[in-house]
Amino acid sequence: MQLINRLHFNNLRGDLLGGLTAAIVALPLALAFGVSSGAGAITGLYGAIFVGFFAALFGGTPSQITGPTGPMTVIMATVFSTLIAKNPDVGVEMAFTVVMLGGLFQILFGILQLGKYIVLIPYAVISGFMSGIGIIIIFIQIGPFLGHRGSASVVESVSKIPDFLSNLNPAAAALGIITLIILFLTPRRVSSVIPSPLLALLIGTLISVFFLEDSNLILIGEIPTGLPKPQLPVFTFEQLNTMLVNGLMLGALGSIDSLLTSLVADNITRTNHDSDRELIGQGIGNIMSGLFGGLPGAGATMRTVVNVHAGGRTALSGIFHSVILLITLLWAGKLTEVIPQTILAGILLKVGIDIIDWGFLKRAHKLSLKAAGIMYSVLLLTVFVDLVTAVAVGVFMANLLTVKRLSDLQLDEVKAIVEPHNEAPLSDEEKQLLEKAKGRLLLLHLVGPMSFGAAKAISKQMGMVEQYDILILDLSNVSYLGITMSLALENMVQEASRKRSEVFFVVASAEIHARLKNLNIWNILVSQNLVATRIEALQRALVLLAES
């Protein structure tokens, strides 16, 4: 695997234009996410610069733009508030250490080649936690939208809504509403020239500067200029477990978010990304961001789509995006200090609304009540408990239902055949041979993958074995034989052996043959009891029946 992403200059103009457009979209979002996290607007800008640059340089999705996202910011807001409350002196440094831990986990995921598995989370779970995150963003932005200080706690934000409404700042509320109007109603031909978030930021800020100077608006405030100094990781043994859990949460969520965006980029550009390499690139980016006091980031769908539509195709577009943001920080940082927080809250309200999976919410109950139940459970757990619990419970529920469904299907594929009826999956010759056995032979016909779900069917047939002189276990159409199923067959053969019943195995697959060879019953199965076809098994069984 080469270290650097696929860099070339064949699309320099398109990459430069794509990077510029993505940076214009990213600027207001980065500032908004920084303020929402509780760490300050500058942390969002640092995150967009550092994660965006290094993820583009080392990642596996050439056209992807990386930066702070809603889901990652929601987690970081909780991390900041929790660690600062318990460790006032070093809580901020510990929070950025969590960002670095998240990056380390992502690198580990990539090294272990887990990329192909991370995106296998059921859609109902993804829909539930993304919608839950959208709702969280909306709740925690209500206060800033109405002119108050925000909170990272959903419960606290909801409980304060009556106070926010009774003591709202009219100027802030009006400015927030103007922001939403611009975001929702800007014509597409205008937003293609200047993105609606930037347009809302410019218009709203100009209105506040020239017409609302004495309205007690909460502003972003002073933003440092220049490059930040690196800060080494800070740990305390008391909080180490919490930090590791939060780091794992950031790493897992960032990986899911990024790889889903990679799939979107693949669909638009007709290319194929490298999942494991993308995780390593994202991890390096988040380590660098945490090292320099920036928010964690992930592949950002909207910014990636904007980049591709503007002509970005290679990793240079992501690098240009970060460099342009860096230039903005160095030369125009002072201009952002007068931006009212209500404008950023309006931008994030739109982000929260867009994150909610309205399409699935509307029709989930029509598609599947079980999927709808999983989705709503994950949504509620995300909002009122935490994301790790929500995803863990959602994946467990979804997998449990899937296993139950697969088990039911496997049960249907285990057929006990004694008489040559029409439904029996046998040829005419095989039916004639079975008829000659006159009910003294039991044929168990198995089809497809046989995992622990099918072992139940074998257990049900156990009591039938003693009623027959010969048992034929037909595995000729079995594609996979799980451990639990193998042991169930072993028990059945041992039971038949105790009852003096003869056992034949019909095996066509070398893999199934090898699995049987590793069982304790191998010494019971003499060579003539392992055959390749049902006809051969039936013929040998009839010879034994004739001799007895």
Q: Tens digits of per-residue pLDDT, 143-162?
A: 999 999 877 778 888 889 89
> Quick one: which of 302, 324, 285, 250 has its CA closest to 52?
285
Residue 2: pLDDT above 60?
no
Report pLDDT for 321: 95
502-506: strand order across its sheet: 414-417, 441-450, 470-481, 502-506, 530-531
Q: Which of 176-180, 439-443, 544-548 has the highest mean pLDDT?
A: 176-180
pLDDT surpassing 90 at residue 318: yes
Q: In the predicted model, is pLDDT for residue 505 greater than 80? A: yes
Q: What is the mean pLDDT of residues 51-55?
A: 96
Q: Rounded CA gap, 399 and 312, in Å?
A: 39
Q: How confident is the model at residue 1 (pLDDT cuts 50, 70, 90)?
A: very low
- Residue 130 and residue 356: Cα distance in Å, rounded? 6
What mean pLDDT do residues 505-531 have?
77
Taking only Cα atoms into account, the Rg of the chain, rounded to an integer number of angstroms, comes to 31
Task: Report the pLDDT value the prediction gives residue 379, as an integer from 0 to 100.
Answer: 93
d(CA 34, CA 230): 18
Q: Tokens 């996290």 identify what position? A: 37
Work out the average pLDDT over 4-18. 81
Please state the rounded mean pLDDT for residues 298-319: 90
Taking CA atoms, 355 is separated from 26, 379, 393, 461, in Å, by 16, 12, 21, 51
Q: What is the mean pLDDT of the chain?
A: 87
What are φ and ψ of residue 343, in 5° steps? -70, -45
- What are the start-end ranges of the E strands in 58-178? 66-67
pLDDT at 521 over 90: no
Residues 58-77 pLDDT 10s: 999 999 999 999 889 988 99
1 or 120, which is more confident? 120
Is there a contact between 77 and 237 (Cβ–Cβ < 8 Å)? Answer: no
How many C-beta neighbours within 10 Å does residue 111 have?
A: 12
The reported pLDDT for the residue numbered 116 is 82
Strand partners, 417: 443
Residue 475 phi, psi (nearest 5): -110, 15
Tens-digit pLDDT profile for residues 257-291: 899 889 888 888 888 889 999 999 999 999 999 99
**How far is residue 218's CA from residue 146's CA, in Å, rounded to a whole number?**
10
pLDDT at residue 452, as a whole number: 74
Residue 45 has pLDDT above 90, yes or no: yes
Q: Helix (H, G, I), strand (E, B), or coil: what is residue 219? A: strand
What does the pLDDT average to over 301-322? 90
Q: Is 503 helix (H, G, I), strand (E, B) or coil?
A: strand
Percent of the chain with pLDDT over 90: 33
Per-residue pLDDT reduced to its tens digit, 221-231: 777 777 788 98
Q: What is the pTM of this model?
A: 0.77
Report the percent of the chain where pLDDT is more than 70.
Answer: 96
Mean pLDDT value of segment 453-474: 77
For the chain, how are helix, strand and coil distributed in percent, rounded to 5?
70, 5, 25
Name the more confident of 493 and 290. Answer: 290
Closest CA to 375 of 76, 134, 156, 157: 134
**Which token pair is 313?**
């195709």
Mean pLDDT of 453-464: 71
Mean pLDDT of 3-17: 78
Answer yes or no: are the C-beta atoms of 79 and 96 closer than 8 Å. Answer: no
Q: What are the structural domains, with CATH classification, of the chain?
A: 12-221+251-363 (no CATH), 413-547 (3.30.750.24)
Residue 393 has pLDDT above 70, yes or no: yes
Q: Report strand pairing: 441-450 vs 414-417.
A: antiparallel
Residue 479 DSSP class: E
Does pLDDT of 491 surpass 60? yes
Please name every residue paired with 478 in a beta bridge, in sequence order, or none if there are none: 448
